[in-house]
Amino acid sequence: MISAAASEALQAWLAAQKALKDAADNTIEAYRRDVAGFLAFMTAHKGGLQGLMPLAQISLTDMRSWMAEARSRDIGPRSLARKLSAVKSFYRWLSEREGFEPTAVLATRAPKFQRKLPRPISPDAAKDVIETVDYQTDTPWIAARDQAVITLLYGCGLRISEALSLEGRDLPIRDVLRITGKGGKERIVPVIDAVRMAISHYVRLCPFDLSPPAPLFRGARGGRLNPRMVQKVVERVRLQLGLPSSTTPHAMRHSFATHLLNAGGDLRAIQELLGHASLSTTQAYTAVDTARLMEVYTQSHPHGL
């Protein structure tokens, strides 16, 4: 439980994030959970409802206590760093509004963690996944739908949420797609023939009306296709092909980026295609390439010479 004043401040900050940064609903909800959890901890830690003045007096020791409590609940370094980032953002905004010094909060160091590298699959494995998806159901239109979605993820490097957000108004699929990604940011994505053909095949077989503004990809009962259904079909394909557990719908997007980079693609162009806000996010794919190179080196270098 948190005080009315703290709750009001949290809601005002979330509204500001939504308005100024055009943050996605999922991002806003994650911010709300992280900061509300922090405020609830401080209420219990300090022994009473924390209004705005007590919040302005939080010390570095209080921050360490919060982080220690989080670790005791098996919250990993990556998740804790994300929570701390949200709390710091909230405190920057709150300190400017209320006129206090937020040094203790802002000086708190995030726990160190090793960033996870994207885990792509090989070009041959990506092709096998796309071809095998077609055999997971006896219903022709559903088989065509699943193949179209997976082809779209790999062929255009879309997030699954982006692929499933396409609507009838996007038909017929042309040479490019206008995609709305995270934070409402738009980007233009080229569409290769294989993607266009897969979607056209699905559209011909789909038994539901795809007129605007209906969703393009439908579930068995006609509603918008649930991402979990795509995850399940990829999981079945993965087991059939003996591919690693990292073979997920999102891995098709990773594979798109890695295979473009390996083929000599420009890093900034790939950043634009993926819709990454920061080039540093895209640069993770160069680390994948380096890691693969070192693996080959380790296996093949004549160490005895």
**By mean pLDDT, which of 1-5, 156-160, 290-294 is the weakest?**
290-294
| Residue 101 confidence (pLDDT) | 84
- With 70 as the cut, is the pLDDT of residue 107 above it? yes
Decide if domain 4-106 falls under CATH 3.30.70.
Answer: no
Q: Is 297 labeled as catalytic in the residue annotation? A: no
Give the phi and the psi of residue 112 in degrees, each rounded to 5.
-80, 140
pLDDT band at 75 (very low <50, low <70, confident <90, very high): confident
Domain spans in the chain, listed from the N-terminal domain onward: 4-106, 123-297
SS (H, E, C) 13-75: HHHHHHHHHCCCHHHHHHHHHHHHHHHHHHHHHHCCCCCHHHHCCCCHHHHHHHHHHHHHCCC
**Mean pLDDT confidence for 199-210:** 94
SS (H, E, C) the chain: CCCHHHHHHHHHHHHHHHHHHCCCHHHHHHHHHHHHHHHHHHHHHHCCCCCHHHHCCCCHHHHHHHHHHHHHCCCCHHHHHHHHHHHHHHHHHHHHHHCCCCHHHHCCCCCCCCCCCCCCCCHHHHHHHHHHHCCCCCCHHHHHHHHHHHHHHHHHCCCHHHHHCCEHHHCCCCCEEEEECHHHCEEEEECCHHHHHHHHHHHHHCCCCCCCCCECCECCCCCECCHHHHHHHHHHHHHHHCCCCCCCHHHHHHHHHHHHHHCCCCHHHHHHHHCCCCHHHHCHHHHHHHHHHHHHHHHHCCCCC
Q: Is 301 labeled as catalytic in the residue annotation? A: no
Question: How do residues 225-239 score in pLDDT, each as one tens digit?
Answer: 999 999 999 999 999
Into which CATH architecture does domain 123-297 fall?
Orthogonal Bundle (1.10)
- For residues 198 and 203, give the distance between their C-alpha atoms in angstroms, rounded to a whole number: 9
The pTM assigned to this predicted structure is: 0.58
Question: How do residues 12-28 score in pLDDT, each as one tens digit?
Answer: 988 888 877 666 677 88
**Mean pLDDT confidence for 204-213:** 91
User: Of 83, 145, 159, 196, which is the active-site residue?
Assistant: 159
In terms of average pLDDT, the best of 1-5, 108-112, 158-162 is 158-162
| Residue 3 confidence (pLDDT) | 79
Q: Is 182 labeled as catalytic in the residue annotation? A: yes
User: Of 145, 196, 238, 253, which is the active-site residue?
Assistant: 253
| Residue 296 confidence (pLDDT) | 41
| Residue 113 confidence (pLDDT) | 57
| Residue 145 confidence (pLDDT) | 95
**Mean pLDDT confidence for 129-144:** 92
Question: How do residues 248-281 score in pLDDT, each as one tens digit?
Answer: 888 888 787 776 766 565 556 666 666 554 544 4
| Residue 202 confidence (pLDDT) | 95
User: Of 92, 119, 182, 236, which is the active-site residue?
Assistant: 182
